[in-house]
Structure formats: C-alpha cells, structure tokens
Structure 1
Amino acid sequence: MPGWFFVDAVLITDDGMPAALPTPPSVEANYNPHDRVDVVPTQQSRPILRRPHPVQFRGQSADLNASIGANDGAVLAASNDEGNTYLIDTIETSATPDESVEIANAIDIAPLSPWSNTSDSTRHATLLNDTAMQTDVVAAMEWAWKGYRTYAFGHDWLNVVTMADQGEGHDMALSLVDSLDTLFLLGLLDEFNEAADWAEANMPARHTQPGRVSLFETTIRNLGGYLSAYHLSGRPKLLALAKDLGTRLCRGLDKSALPQSLVSLVDGSTSDASYLAEFTTIQLEFKYLSTLTGDSTYANAVETIMNKVARIVDATYPNGILPVIADSYSGRLQHGQIKLGAGGDSYYEYLLKQWLLSGKTDSKYKAMYETAVTGIMDKLAGRTKKSGWVFLGELEVNGDLTPKMDHLVCFMPGMLALGYMHGMPSSHLDLAKALGRTCFEMYNQMASNLAPEIAYFNTVDDSNDIQVHASDAFNILRPETVESLMVLYRVTRDETYREWGKVIFRAFEQHCRLPQGGYSSVNHVDSPAPSKFFRREMESFFMAETLKYFYLLFSDESVVPLDQFVFNTEAHPFPIQWRT
C-alpha cells in the first residue's frame, strides 16, 4: 500500500504528488443512483401527516410546554417556564450561504472532497422539505411502530421471527422509551401519548427490578429517551423518570477506578470489564440531567470520569486516539488495538458534543477533540487502490493498519461535518465528504443496496474496492450512514446526499419491511434478494435513530437545527446550553 498523509486539506502520496479522488457525477449530469439495481419505488404519497406538523424549533429553545393546534400548517406557539414564546410552525428559515472548501495550494490540485465539482444546480441556499419522502418515512415509522405495538408493546424488542415480545432478563422497554421523541417529531402524537402514558405508569417498577443493566445502553436509550421526550413534550413525569433512573445509575459510577459495564439499579453494585466508549458516552445525558434538575451531582460524577481519561491521554496517548479495552480496577487502558468501531466510536463523538452542549465554554473537550481528529487522520486513514475511496482502518499493536471498517464507523462523516459547522478546520469537512462517499458505496456496491456490518478495503490491486466476508454480510438496520448524510446535507446543501439517502431508504423498504408490521434485519446483502431474520429482534435504534435521521434528512434545517441542539449517540436531541 503506498503511503500517504494530509497536508491541510490535500491528500499526498509518499512520492510527493497530490492524490486525486474521483468526482461522482452531479445529479444534473444524468447521475442515477438506481442504475445498478432495480429499486422498489416509494408508495403513492398521501397527505404529509394526519396530525399537526412536527415541532420546528426557533432560536434557543427551552423546554416547551407545547399546545399543538389542530390545523396542519397553522402558526403554532409554545411557551417555556420563563414565559418566552417560540414559534413551532412550518415557516422556512434562511440558511447561511454555502461556504467553499479551502484547499491548500489549490493550483491544479484535486481536492479531497469527492464532489467539489458538482454542479451548483444541486445546491440550495435554503434547505426545503421533501414532503414526498417525509411522507414515506412517516409511513415507515407507523409500520415499524405497528409491529412493535401489536406484538411487543412495553418490552425491549419485537421478535420478528415469532412476532412476539422479546426482553433479555432485565426488560427496560427499550424500544418504547427509545422511540418517544421520534413519534413526537414525526407528528405521531396519539402514539406518543399512549407510549408516554404507559412509561409514566409502568417504568418506575422497571427501575427497581433485581439484576444488573448495561450502564451504557440504559443511559443512552432510557435516560436519553426520557430527557429528550420531556424537552419536546414538557410532561413532568418524564423528567421524574429521568431523575429516578439517573440517580440509580449514578450510584455505580464510583465503585471502581473506571466504571464497570453492568450496574444494579437497586443497590448500585457493578460487574464486568468495560470498553472505552461505555464510560465515556454517558456524559451528555448526566450533564443535561443536572441542567434540568439543578442538581450538579450527576454532572460532577461523569466529569470525574472524563478528568481521569484526560490524564490518561496526556500521560500515554498524546496523539489523542485510544485503545478500547479498560481495566476498571487499575483505571488504565489496556495496550491494544485502536479503532473507531465497537468499543471506541462514541468516545470521540462525545468529545465534540460535550464542548457543544456547554455552549462552547468547556475548551478542554474542544482541545481533546482536535487532537484526536489529527491522530485519526495521521494513523487510521487509508484509501483503496482502484478508486481512491477513503476509509478509517484499525491500528494494530505493531503499528500496521488493517483496512477494515465497521458500519459503526460511518458516524464519523457526520461528526466531522458537525465539527466543521461549529468552526473546526476545512480539512475536517474534506475528510467528512470523502468518508461519506465511502459509507454510501458500502451500500451502493452491494447487490441489495444494503451495507454489510463490516467491510474490508482493497489497498493492493485494481479489483473491487470493497470486499465482504460471508460472516459480515448482514445488515441490522443501523443508522450511522443516514445520520452522516443528514449532517452533510445540512452543512453542504448538496442534493447528492438526499439522493443517496433515497437509495438506502428504498432498499430498507424493499428488503426489510414485514407484512404484519415491523422491519427485519437481513443476511447476504451481496445478493439481490437477501434473506430476512438474520437476528430475531427489530433493534430499538431503527425507530429511535435510523427513521428519525431519514426524516431529518428530508426536512428543512429548522427541524432540530444543528446550531441549537446536539444529538446523543442514540439520536436523542438535547438543547445546547448557550451562555448569554
């Protein structure tokens, strides 16, 4: 594999020459994302919503006690506890002008951006709603919820094989709590209120079950779900649930030098070794809980953890990228593989987002994030031999880069683009665009138009850029690529990202939709007809994240604006705490 590195925004090979990446055709230039395979068309559009248009935020939103009117398109209003009124109607907002990417020494040098030459006709100064696609996404959410509500309501998951409920030991109604804010944002208010009523009546008992729960999953799904649903709806019992659960989880944070993976909600006892991402991806939730309750206990507990991690970085990992396995008792990270997939991914995401949630006042996290991204560019980035597609591999202990990328890593384009939107260097956006192209190709190169769980990248010869092992050729409805397409679209205003999103959405509809309700994971994505039921459960993140991000991709930028909200790693939006 030829060596290469970044000089500002330009990819340089080890012979000193700039490495040009291919520019895909623009939408205007007869670019048809459906050329390679037949894709089932979307259903006939119906009226966009059978209920009022979902909330569209204005300005610095506070917790809204919303009174939703009955007429779609009417100007609606909500007031917070201070009496300030915020519009929540469907009026367009002006967007900031598109910013060109700065390329160092840009004389006859092809930029890293894979479509910087795209026709201006594919860009819009203001992002508009794609109401036809919004309609289809709402219908998909209704169908997924129908399966869950009919066969598994109040339990963790819908078992799509038996069409029955499925919970593993400690049933925390993950799918229900995780989906609350999606139901609200998509205007499915009857479904939201039914689910919220159930949660308020039944979840207190679930919080007192014996046994242990995952600290990470329970925080990002349940605690995050309560907090965002409270912010959107203003239902005080949801905040009470968040406070009760947060208090119970918080008891387990100081039982060892670094938190362990499992915690009892009854007595705070803990067990099992943990991964880096598990104890560094709970900070947004506990900090926002402190903001809402006025109790700093929660924020202080998770800040203590991050202070320990910061000391580890300073002492041992000055390039900012970390191994993923932790020794909870010694408080050290075990020397080993460094990767951005399972076990490590959201650590980097929460560095950026803790800075943003603080209203950009906590500069420690900005510095840690910038250092980490530089380390990622230097140590983990590679590109394929044939097409020059950029990927982020896994760094082995001996310093070799394995050209393997989990689908989970496809959160990176969105993270990098979000950072650029908030002032990070233009090279971050360049890498975001290049990775966004690669993540789309993980779908587009498969005969089903569905991405595998893991892809390997060919850095050796001119055969296929992407190679998939049979054991990795499954898709469980993950959200990361759709999330990144949404952020990239809002940051660049390039219609290509919506076109790519349509390809992925239609593939989910064609191959994963079940006749009784719900959606199934699939296997053999390299086949035009992948087989259903790879896993029994319809994962809660399909409704909590994947469908929410699809809806936001086809919405204008006033729907959960990225300069006013940050999403936790389970797609639950929290308002940025801007200081005035």
Structure 2
Amino acid sequence: MLGRSRRVRIATFLVVGTCIYLFYGGFLSASLLELKPSPRKRIQYPFKEKGFGGKDEDKATAVKQVMQRTFGLYKQKAWGFDEVKPVSGGQRNSRNGWGATIIDGMTTAAIMGLSDIFADQYDWVVNRVNFHKTMGLVDPFETTIRYLGALVSTVDLLEAGVISPPSPSFRKDILRQARTLADNLGPAFDTPTGMLWPRVNFSSARGVDDSGRRNSYTRTHLARAGSHFLEYATLSELTGDKIYLKNSTRAWNWLVDNKKGEEWPGILESPRLIWTGEPFGTTRTLGAPDDSHYEYLIKAHLLFPTRASTRRHAKRWVQAMTSAQTHLLSTSNTRPRHSFLLSYSKGMYENKMGHLTCFIGGNLLLGAAYLSRPDLHSFGEALIDGCHHSYVSMPSRVGPEEWSWTPRERKQTRINGFTSPVTAAQERLWSQTGIWPTAANYNLRPEVVESYFYGWRITGQQKYRDWAWDAFTAIANATSTHWGYSEVTDVTATPRDGSERDANLRDISESFWSAETLKYLYLTFSDPDLCSLDSWVFNTEAHPLKRRFR
C-alpha cells in the first residue's frame, strides 16, 4: 500500500508539474515567439483624455528659433555645401557635396512649419541637386539615412498635410530624385548576402570597400548591414517598385533568420563578412557601430504592423533586448545607483558607454509600449535615467561622447577588474558623480534628447520635458557660435571668456544637428498629436515615416 501510494503521489506530481510547465512555458514562449499585438494598439500616452500635455509654446518657439538661426547662417555662408563651419564661417563637404544640411534638415523645417526655409530646401531638391555627380566614393549607410530618408519622409509629410506643398507636382518631383539616388546606390547590394559594400563608386556603378577596391574579405558592422528597411520599403510603397524593398531585405535574411551559433539570442557578433554573412569579429554591443540594426528590428514591425514578415523582426528585437538585460546591463556601485550598458568583445567586458548608445532607452520604451512588455519598459527608463545622469554630472550639463563607471557586477575583463579613473580630473568627477568621461567631446548628437522625446510621448511624465529643456539650454549655451552651433571639445570645461570658449569649439556642425537634435527637442514641446507615435515611425536620422496598416 505504501509503495503504491508513493507511486501515485509521484505520478500526480509529474502530471501537475508538466501542466504547470506547459502552461507557463507556453505562455512565456508565446509572449516571446507569438507576438501578435493589435496593429492599432496605442503607443502614445493619452494626453487629451488625461487633460494635459499640450504644446509648450514658449519652449517650442525657442527651439524653432535655433533652427531658423542655424539655417539662416548656413544659407548666408555655405549654401550648397554640406555644412557651414560654425566658428570660422567656412564651408565643409562631408557627405558628397549634395547639400546635407539642406536635405537632412528638410523634414525639421516641415514639422516646424517654417515655410520659407522649406521652400528653399524644396527648390534645392527638385531643381538643383545632382545625384549623378558626387565628390568621391559614396557611403550607402549615411546616404540612405540622411538623404533618401529625408526625401521619402518629406513626401509622407506633405501628403499628410503637415506643411503646404510648394508645388502640386511635389510627389512626382521628389520621388524622381529619390529614385535616382536609390538606383545609384543599388550596386551597394551586389553581394551574395545582400550585406552592403561600405562604399559605392557612382562612376563605375560598383560597390567597393573603403579604399575603392573589391574583395571577398570586406566586412561590415551591423548598423550598415541592417539599417535600410524603413527607407527602401517606404520608397517601394510610394513608387510601387518592389526592387527597393527586395534589396533592403536580403541582408535581413542573414541577420534575422539565421540563428546559427548565437550564444546570446538576438545579439549578433560583429563585424560580419559581406560575402558569407559569417562573423569576422566577436563584439557584442547595442552601441555604435551596431546600434541601428537593433533599432530597426522593432521599427520594421511598427512600419508594417499587419505583415507577418515583419513579426519575426519584432521577435528578434525582444530576444536582443532580453539578452542585453541579462548580459550587458550594469549598475554603478556608487550612490545614487545608475544603469548603463557594458560592451563585450573577445570574451571580455568593458565598462564604457557612448552617447550614441543612449538611443536605446527610447527604443525600449517604444517597443515595450507596443508589445506590452513592462519588464523592458523598466529597463528603458533605467537607461534613460543613466544617460540623463551623464549630462547633469558634467560641469557644462552637456553629456560626453563616452564615459565609464565602476560596476557592481563581477565580469571577465581585459585586465584585473574594470578600468578606473586615470587622471586627477577623472578621479575628482568620479568621486562627485560616480562616472568620468573617457571622451569628453560633444558632437551635437541627438540620442539623449531622442530618448527624452520617447519618454515624454509614451509615459506623459513631466520630468522628460524638464530634462529636455535643461539639455536644450545647456547645449545652446555651450555650442552657440557666430556662424551657428559647433561641436565642443571638452564638456567638463567651463570657459571664463570668449577666447577660452572659442578654443573649446571644434568648428564642425554635422547635418544631424538640425535633422535630429532640434527636431526631437521641438517635438517634445509641440502638440503631441504632431507626428504621433501611433501614426508615425522615425528612421535613425529622425525622419518620420507614415505607418502602413495594410
């Protein structure tokens, strides 16, 4: 009797255990692998229903005025060049001489309702720029996110009535230029994997490496390999030509569907060989130069939420973010504690995080809101708080390009423990704030205020607007020059006079200053209905694209 009773109990335990496993295991598996949110699921905070969150007129106007000043001084000193040199008033071509500041800033002018500026930009696009003529080799990644992204986004914005079109033929005129550019970039996809050549020679219509040669050992990082879907898929939607969509998805078959040898699900080793798709290096990071690959995984699904083909990208995004939370998340051992992301390479961790990586907090909030993942939402908020700390810890209240902290975790590192402050100045900052800059420059980057924008639009928490205003005033104060706004050499410096201040400026102002930084700041203070996250998805250069619900 005792033996039989024991066998019954064991059998009952196994049955119950199996049921629990199947229920919870199936539930967890479904939450990860069977993502089927309603395509129309609300992402933005319901500001109107809650009775607050309208436009902050004064702050939005202040940001708009900086945009007007930026473009006015550029037009005066460097029209037709890619950039103005904001300290000297000279000119600089860094993006093939197609007028990057004009085209990349076009959607910002449209969103701000700056019709005079937009008219000049529109005229340049449809009547002046020549995408057959280029200065040197063309970078297909930067060209796609800045130029092509701006062109297809402008069509979407005009058709949505965000700004009045200067011409009734705007759709045909802009798409003519967009197709010319995309067709000239086409040879970049001429590899067995569809992973892009690092450069394109427009004269010979051939994809090449950085030096202008072709060889099968050329490699590329994940951002270059996996950050073209939004722009090319939208171009296919607007033109009806599916070749652009086809080109943009070939590399994703390797990056999204091929899971061979993944130690951390969803997070890939980088760089990759463009000929085979195999990893050439062992770096695993959500930061540069792999960042926007992970950004686009969730955004591809948001762009086309009803397509089963993009659901697998959302699944991979969940896998990657879950792996990052497990393997890369770090907490400082100083108080108050802050969250950052480690980098990993060759089996070793490094306690460094870059400004570029700060996009991930907002990206986490975006995906978590759509997929109903409160765990990933908390992860995102913690990282935004850490990036905010990188700003307010600096004497200028502008964050550095890269910083370090002392982690609480024990990880395998390159030396006996994580790196520590090296100089007396770093030691002093670490003792006061818990972090120290390892690259103290600020390059007019948008990623921190980008995450504030998502924080405000998704949670409705006023702190994100407050943080954005604090960042705007600090950035404007540190970067303003006679001819625009300049990169800063050292955010830990507090210049006492004009000569010291000028000496701390780098005379460079890339087009993402107006395309991204000012746009995200303006949208944080504008009416939340403007480019609502329920209707628009932003490419990695902050160009909004209409979500397609069909």
- Is 1:331 the equivalent of 2:277? yes
In structure 2, the partner of 1:260 is 197
Calculate the TM-score normalised by the size of structure 1. 0.76
Determine if contact 1:180/1:192 at 8 Å carries over to the other structure.
Answer: yes
Calculate the TM-score normalised by the size of structure 2. 0.80
Shift of the 469–485 alpha-carbon distance from structure 1 to 2, 3 Å rule, reads closer
Cα distance in 1, alignment partners of residues 536 and 89 from structure 2? 36
Determine if contact 1:389/1:437 at 8 Å carries over to the other structure.
Answer: yes
In structure 1, the partner of 2:234 is 288
Cα distance in 2, alignment partners of residues 413 and 318 from structure 1? 20
Aligned with 2:471 (options 495, 501, 504): 504
In structure 1, the partner of 2:77 is 151
Q: Which moved more, 1:313-322 or 1:158-167?
A: 313-322
- Is 1:230 the equivalent of 2:146? no
Q: Which moved more, 1:455-464 or 1:176-185?
A: 455-464
TM-superposition CA deviations, 1:542-561 (whole Å, max 9, x none): 00000000001112220100
Cα distance in 2, alignment partners of residues 288 and 577 from structure 1? 9
In structure 1, the partner of 2:318 is 370
In structure 2, the partner of 1:139 is 65
TM-superposition CA deviations, 1:454-473 (whole Å, max 9, x none): 01012269934543346x11
How many angstroms does 1:395 deviate by?
1.4
Between Structure 1 and Structure 2, the one with more helix by share is 2
In structure 2, the partner of 1:476 is 443
Structure 1 residues 361-510: aligned runs within 5 Å: 361=307, 362-386=310-334, 387-398=336-347, 400-459=348-407, 463-469=431-437, 472-510=439-477
User: CA RMSD for the aligned pairs?
Assistant: 2.3
Aligned with 1:522 (options 488, 497, 504): 488
Instruction: Specify the SS of the correspondent of 1:326.
Output: strand
Determine if contact 2:267/2:323 at 8 Å carries over to the other structure.
Answer: yes
TM-superposition CA deviations, 1:225-256 (whole Å, max 9, x none): 11111222251211211111112212320235
Q: Which moved more, 1:131-140 or 1:159-168?
A: 159-168
Cα distance in 2, alignment partners of residues 323 and 379 from structure 1? 14
Determine if contact 2:131/2:180 at 8 Å carries over to the other structure.
Answer: no
In structure 2, the partner of 1:341 is 287
Cα distance in 1, alignment partners of residues 276 and 506 from structure 2? 36
Shift of the 469–416 alpha-carbon distance from structure 1 to 2, 3 Å rule, reads closer
TM-superposition CA deviations, 1:168-221 (whole Å, max 9, x none): 483121111100010111111111011110221122x23333742101000000
Instruction: Specify the SS of the correspondent of 1:302.
Output: helix
How many angstroms does 1:340 deviate by?
1.9
Cα distance in 1, alignment partners of residues 60 and 486 from structure 2? 21
Aligned with 2:517 (options 533, 536, 546): 546
Shift of the 243–169 alpha-carbon distance from structure 1 to 2, 3 Å rule, reads closer
Structure 2 residues not aligned, in runs of 5+: 1-38, 160-169, 210-218, 409-419, 421-429
Cα distance in 1, alignment partners of residues 343 and 50 from structure 2? 37
In structure 2, the partner of 1:560 is 531
Cα distance in 1, alignment partners of residues 50 and 520 from structure 2? 20
Determine if contact 1:337/1:396 at 8 Å carries over to the other structure.
Answer: yes
Cα distance in 2, alignment partners of residues 366 and 206 from structure 1? 34
Determine if contact 1:564/1:575 at 8 Å carries over to the other structure.
Answer: yes
Instruction: Specify the SS of the correspondent of 1:475.
Output: coil
Structure 1 residues 213-224: aligned runs within 5 Å: 213-224=138-149
Cα distance in 1, alignment partners of residues 131 and 71 from structure 2? 21
Determine if contact 1:384/1:465 at 8 Å carries over to the other structure.
Answer: no
Cα distance in 2, alignment partners of residues 239 and 185 from structure 1? 20
TM-superposition CA deviations, 1:453-512 (whole Å, max 9, x none): 001012269934543346x11101100011110111111111011111111100112111
Cα distance in 1, alignment partners of residues 276 and 45 from structure 2? 49
Cα distance in 1, alignment partners of residues 365 and 88 from structure 2? 41
Determine if contact 2:191/2:275 at 8 Å carries over to the other structure.
Answer: no
Q: Which moved more, 1:414-423 or 1:452-461?
A: 452-461
Determine if contact 1:458/1:465 at 8 Å carries over to the other structure.
Answer: no
Shift of the 522–124 alpha-carbon distance from structure 1 to 2, 3 Å rule, reads farther
- Is 1:130 the equivalent of 2:63? no
Cα distance in 1, alignment partners of residues 281 and 83 from structure 2? 36
Determine if contact 1:339/1:394 at 8 Å carries over to the other structure.
Answer: yes
Structure 1 residues 52-131: aligned runs within 5 Å: 96=46, 125-131=51-57
Instruction: Specify the SS of the correspondent of 1:557.
Output: coil
Aligned with 1:244 (options 154, 176, 180): 180
Cα distance in 2, alignment partners of residues 466 and 195 from structure 1? 45
Cα distance in 1, alignment partners of residues 404 and 46 from structure 2? 38
Cα distance in 2, alignment partners of residues 291 and 167 from structure 1? 32
Q: Which moved more, 1:283-292 or 1:336-345?
A: 336-345
In structure 2, the partner of 1:206 is 131
Determine if contact 1:95/1:126 at 8 Å carries over to the other structure.
Answer: no
Determine if contact 1:210/1:266 at 8 Å carries over to the other structure.
Answer: no
How many angstroms does 1:262 deviate by?
0.5
Cα distance in 2, alignment partners of residues 469 and 547 from structure 1? 24
Structure 1 residues not aligned, in runs of 5+: 1-58, 61-93, 99-122
Cα distance in 2, alignment partners of residues 248 and 194 from structure 1? 25
TM-superposition CA deviations, 1:278-324 (whole Å, max 9, x none): 12111110000000011111101111110122244344355111223
Determine if contact 1:95/1:125 at 8 Å carries over to the other structure.
Answer: no
In structure 2, the partner of 1:299 is 245
Instruction: Specify the SS of the correspondent of 2:484.
Output: coil
Shift of the 256–148 alpha-carbon distance from structure 1 to 2, 3 Å rule, reads farther
Which protein is bigger by CA-based radius of gyration?
A: 2
Displacement over 6 Å in runs of 4+: none
Determine if contact 2:47/2:460 at 8 Å carries over to the other structure.
Answer: no
Cα distance in 2, alignment partners of residues 543 and 97 from structure 1? 27
Cα distance in 2, alignment partners of residues 96 and 488 from structure 1? 13
TM-superposition CA deviations, 1:50-104 (whole Å, max 9, x none): xxxxxxxxx99xxxxxxxxxxxxxxxxxxxxxxxxxxxxxxxxx95389xxxxxx
Cα distance in 2, alignment partners of residues 184 and 96 from structure 1? 25
How many angstroms does 1:374 deviate by?
0.6
Determine if contact 2:47/2:54 at 8 Å carries over to the other structure.
Answer: no
In structure 1, the partner of 2:103 is 177
Shift of the 332–463 alpha-carbon distance from structure 1 to 2, 3 Å rule, reads same
1:219 partner amino acid: T
Determine if contact 1:274/1:327 at 8 Å carries over to the other structure.
Answer: yes
Cα distance in 1, alignment partners of residues 95 and 402 from structure 2? 29
Shift of the 207–531 alpha-carbon distance from structure 1 to 2, 3 Å rule, reads farther
- Is 1:537 the equivalent of 2:508? yes
Determine if contact 2:187/2:207 at 8 Å carries over to the other structure.
Answer: no
Cα distance in 2, alignment partners of residues 349 and 193 from structure 1? 32
1:277 partner amino acid: A
Q: Which moved more, 1:316-325 or 1:332-341?
A: 316-325
